[in-house]
C-alpha cells in the first residue's frame, strides 16, 4: 500500500516536471495560473483538510499580556480580522479569552456532566449524549470580549478589534433545560460555571437565560474546539464574552447577583456604566483597508468590514471617506442575523490623497454606533481611547496616507 502510494506520488511529480518542461517550450502561463507541485500531505488533506501553506494568517496574543505567560496560562488571543471574509470566523482563528489566564482543559466528553440545580423543582444532571438527544438549533452569533478596546498604540485591526469573532453554534436552548428543571417563582439570576481548573463563573439575569441563551456542543459544523469550551459551553447572545461560560458543568438558579470573581471584575459604582457592560452596543469596523495594509495606488477598491450589535440585527452601515464629515450608505453583503457579525461593502475610488475612513452602524432598535466625541459629550468630559466607559463600541478611524499606507487614526 505504502509503496503504491509513493509510486503514485512519484508519478505525479514526474508528470508535473514533464508538464513544466513542456510549458518551457511555449509561452509562460501567468504565475497565478500555475498548478504547482502536488501537495505532499495528501493523507492529512483527505482526513482533516488543512489550508494551503500559502495562507499564513494566524492569531496572536494581546500585547498587554503574553500567552502563554510565565505560568503557562493562555490569556487573550486576537483573531486576524484584517484577513477576514464573510461573517464566519474559522474555528482555528476564533479569538480566545480566559478568566484569569487558564490552562486549556482536556475534557473527556464521556465523563462530562451538566448539572442544573438551585431554585428549581427538579434538579437534573445530563450526560453529553443525553443533551444531544434533546431538540437542538443552530444559530450564528458573535462573541466579543469587554477588553476589545482600540488604543493609539495598536497598529492593526487585529490589535484594535481582534477580541470579537462569529460562528454558527449548535445546541439546546437553555430555556428548555430550565423548564425541564422547573424554575421557581422567586428566582431571578443564574450562576453558570465551567469545569476548568479555575471553575470560572458568571451571574446572568434569568430573563436572558430564559430568552435566547443556548447550551452549545458544536460550532461551525463540528464539536467545539478545546479553546472554545469543548465539550460544552454557554452562549448568551449579544452579551460580553465572559458570560459565554466554557466547559459548562453547572447552572445554579438563584435569587440574587452572586458577585463571583468574574462578576466583581466588572462592577462599577455608576449604574450607567454598569448598564453598558453586559449587552454589547452597535459596533462596526473596517477590516480593509485597515492599519498596516498598503494600497498599491489610486483606483477602485472595495472597502469592507464587519458590524454587529448585542441588541439584535444590524439594520444599516454608513461609511465616511472624509473623517466623518459626510456619510454614505454601505451595502450589507450577508444576511443580517441578530447578534451576529454582518459584512458590509462600499465601492470606493481612491484619488490618491490622504484621507480618513470610518464606518458606523445602526441596529434594529435604531441605536447608532457613536463616535468618541459623542461619547465624551454624553459623559461631559474628555474620553481617552481605551477609557470609554463600559464596552467600547466607538467608531474606528483608519488614516490612508498619500503613499497608500494605512494607519490607526487614533494615533
Partner 1 sequence: MGLPKFLLVTTVLGISQTAWTQSPTYGVGRSPSTQEIAAWDIAVSPTGKELPPGHGTAKEGAAFYVQKGCAGCHGAKGSSGGHAPTLIKGANQEAHAAMSMPCLSPCVNDLNNMAVHSPFATTIWDYINRGMPLGKEGSLSPNEVYAITAFLLYKNDVIQEEEVMDQQSLPKVKMPNHAGFALPPEWKHGTPRLQGYP
Radius of gyration in angstroms for the set of CA atoms belonging to the chain, rounded to a whole number: 24
Q: Indicate the helix (H) or strand (E) that contains 46.
A: helix 42-47
Closest CA to 348 of 292, 309, 300: 300
Shortest Å, Cβ 93 to partner 1: 20
**Who contacts 124 (Cβ-Cβ below 8 Å, separation ≥6)?**
115, 116, 117, 177, 180, 181
Nearer to partner 1, 23 or 275 (CB): 275
**Cβ-contact 379, 363 below 8 angstroms:** no
For strands 331-332 and 342-350, give the pairing.
antiparallel
Shortest Å, Cβ 199 to partner 1: 4
Nearer to partner 1, 80 or 238 (CB): 238
CA pseudo-torsion sign 54, 59, 62, 67: negative
Shortest Å, Cβ 78 to partner 1: 12
Nearer to partner 1, 127 or 405 (CB): 127
Q: Is 70 helix (H, G, I), strand (E, B) or coil?
A: coil
Nearer to partner 1, 295 or 386 (CB): 386
165-202 burial: b if 16+ Cβ within 10 Å, else e: bbbbbbbbbbebbbebbebeeebebbbbbbbbebebbb
Residue 185 DSSP label: T
Nearer to partner 1, 172 or 219 (CB): 172
Closest CA to 154 of 396, 404, 400: 396
How far, in Å, CA of 222 to CA of 55, rounded? Answer: 22
Shortest Å, Cβ 280 to partner 1: 8
Nearer to partner 1, 102 or 224 (CB): 102
Reading the block at residue 392, the C-alpha cell is: 467600547
Closest CA to 346 of 329, 366, 360: 329
For strands 113-118 and 248-254, give the pairing.
parallel
Nearer to partner 1, 305 or 390 (CB): 390
Shortest Å, Cβ 294 to partner 1: 28
Shortest Å, Cβ 337 to partner 1: 15
**Cβ-contact 315, 298 below 8 angstroms:** no
Nearer to partner 1, 203 or 304 (CB): 203
Shortest Å, Cβ 406 to partner 1: 24
Shortest Å, Cβ 117 to partner 1: 5
**Cβ-contact 397, 403 below 8 angstroms:** no
Amino acid at each position: 500500500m505504502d509503496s503504491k502510494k509513493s509510486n503514485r506520488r512519484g508519478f505525479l511529480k514526474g508528470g508535473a516536471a514533464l508538464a513544466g518542461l513542456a510549458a518551457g517550450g511555449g509561452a509562460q502561463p501567468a504565475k497565478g495560473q500555475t498548478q504547482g507541485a502536488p501537495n505532499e500531505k495528501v493523507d492529512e488533506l483527505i482526513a482533516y483538510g488543512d489550508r494551503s501553506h500559502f495562507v499564513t494568517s494566524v492569531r496572536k496574543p494581546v500585547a498587554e499580556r503574553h500567552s502563554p505567560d510565565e505560568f503557562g496560562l493562555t490569556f487573550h488571543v486576537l483573531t486576524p480580522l484584517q484577513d477576514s471574509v464573510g461573517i464566519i470566523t474559522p474555528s482555528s482563528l476564533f479569538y480566545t479569552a480566559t478568566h484569569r489566564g487558564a490552562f486549556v482543559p482536556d475534557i473527556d466528553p464521556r465523563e462530562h456532566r451538566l448539572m442544573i440545580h438551585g431554585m428549581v423543582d427538579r434538579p437534573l444532571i445530563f450526560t453529553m449524549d443525553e443533551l444531544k438527544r434533546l431538540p437542538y438549533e443552530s444559530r450564528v452569533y458573535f462573541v466579543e470580549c469587554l477588553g476589545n478596546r482600540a488604543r493609539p498604540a495598536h497598529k492593526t485591526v487585529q490589535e484594535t478589534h481582534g477580541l470579537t469573532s462569529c460562528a454558527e453554534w449548535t445546541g439546546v436552548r437553555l430555556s428548555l433545560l430550565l423548564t425541564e428543571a422547573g424554575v421557581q417563582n422567586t428566582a431571578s439570576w443564574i450562576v453558570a460555571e465551567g469545569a476548568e481548573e479555575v471553575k470560572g463563573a458568571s451571574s446572568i439575569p434569568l430573563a436572558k437565560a430564559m430568552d435566547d441563551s443556548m447550551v452549545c456542543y458544536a460550532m461551525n459544523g463540528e464539536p467545539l474546539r478545546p479553546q472554545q469550551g469543548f465539550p460544552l459551553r454557554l452562549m448568551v447572545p449579544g452579551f460580553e464574552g465572559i458570560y459565554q461560560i466554557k466547559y459548562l458543568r453547572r447552572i445554579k438558579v438563584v435569587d440574587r447577583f452572586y458577585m463571583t470573581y468574574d462578576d466583581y471584575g466588572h462592577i462599577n459604582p455608576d449604574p450607567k456604566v454598569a448598564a453598558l457592560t453586559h449587552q454589547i452596543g452597535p459596533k462596526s469596523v473596517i477590516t480593509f483597508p485597515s492599519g498596516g495594509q498598503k494600497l498599491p495606488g489610486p483606483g477602485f477598491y472595495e472597502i469592507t468590514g464587519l458590524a454587529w450589535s448585542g441588541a439584535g440585527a444590524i439594520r444599516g452601515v454608513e461609511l465616511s471617506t472624509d473623517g466623518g464629515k459626510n456619510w454614505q450608505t454601505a451595502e450589507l453583503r450577508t444576511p443580517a442575523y441578530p447578534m451576529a457579525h454582518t459584512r458590509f461593502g462600499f465601492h470606493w475610488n481612491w484619488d490618491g490623497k490622504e484621507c480618513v475612513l470610518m464606518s458606523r452602524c445602526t441596529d434594529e432598535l435604531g441605536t447608532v454606533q457613536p463616535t468618541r466625541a459623542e461619547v465624551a459629550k454624553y459623559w461631559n468630559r474628555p474620553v481617552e481611547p481605551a477609557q470609554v466607559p463600559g464596552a467600547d463600541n466607538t467608531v474606528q478611524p483608519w488614516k490612508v496616507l498619500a503613499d497608500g499606507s494605512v494607519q490607526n487614526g487614533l494615533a
